[in-house]
Amino acid sequence: MTGEPIPEEAVRLLNALLGDDYPALSAQIPHLRVAGHCACPCPSIDFALDRTAVPAAPAVDSPFAEATVLDETGEPVGGAMLFASDGYLSLLEVYSWSDDPVTRLPSPDRLA
């Protein structure tokens, strides 16, 4: 499998978005690799995964997990969404609601 391992801050964010609701998708996290990034300044990550390493999760609609991203003062500034395709995690999208982009993955304590 090509691609770099996903960064630790992405692992923490994925765990926060998945919670205890998606154990089969959570089991995929150790096998995820970075397949690409968005061309804009956002920190969204496309995932690659060796599908022989872990079974597919039950199908879910996408996005299947969402949260509001808060700034350091607790004001909403954007969102985070998690997508899956064919039972496998495929994309973590982090976006801004304004012209001031969210450029780093938020920590779980910045999710609402």
**Where does the pLDDT of residue 112 fall: very low under 50, low under 70, confident under 90, or very high at 90 and above?**
very high
pLDDT digits 0-9 by tens, 28-63:
999 999 998 888 888 999 999 999 999 999 999 999
Residue 55 has what pLDDT?
A: 95
- Number of independent structural domains in the chain: 1
User: What range does the domain containing 19 cover?
Assistant: 8-110
Residue-wise pLDDT tens digits, 88-100 = 999 999 999 888 8
Asked if the structure places residue 79 within a domain, the reply is: yes
Predicted pLDDT of residue 1: 58
52 found inside a domain: yes
Kindly state whether residue 3 falls inside one of the protein's structural domains: no
Residue 1 lies in a domain: no
- CB-based burial of residue 34 (10 Å sphere; 0-12 exposed, 13-18 middle, 19+ buried)? middle
Q: What b/e string do you get for 70-108 counting C-beta neighbours within 10 Å, with b at 16 or more?
A: beeeeeebbbbbbbbeebbbbbbbbbbeeeeebeebbee
Cα 61 from Cα 85, distance rounded (Å)? 9
Q: Smallest Cα–Cα separation from 44: which of 68, 14, 80?
A: 80
pTM: 0.92
Give 18's strand partners: none
The whole-number pLDDT of residue 31 equals 96
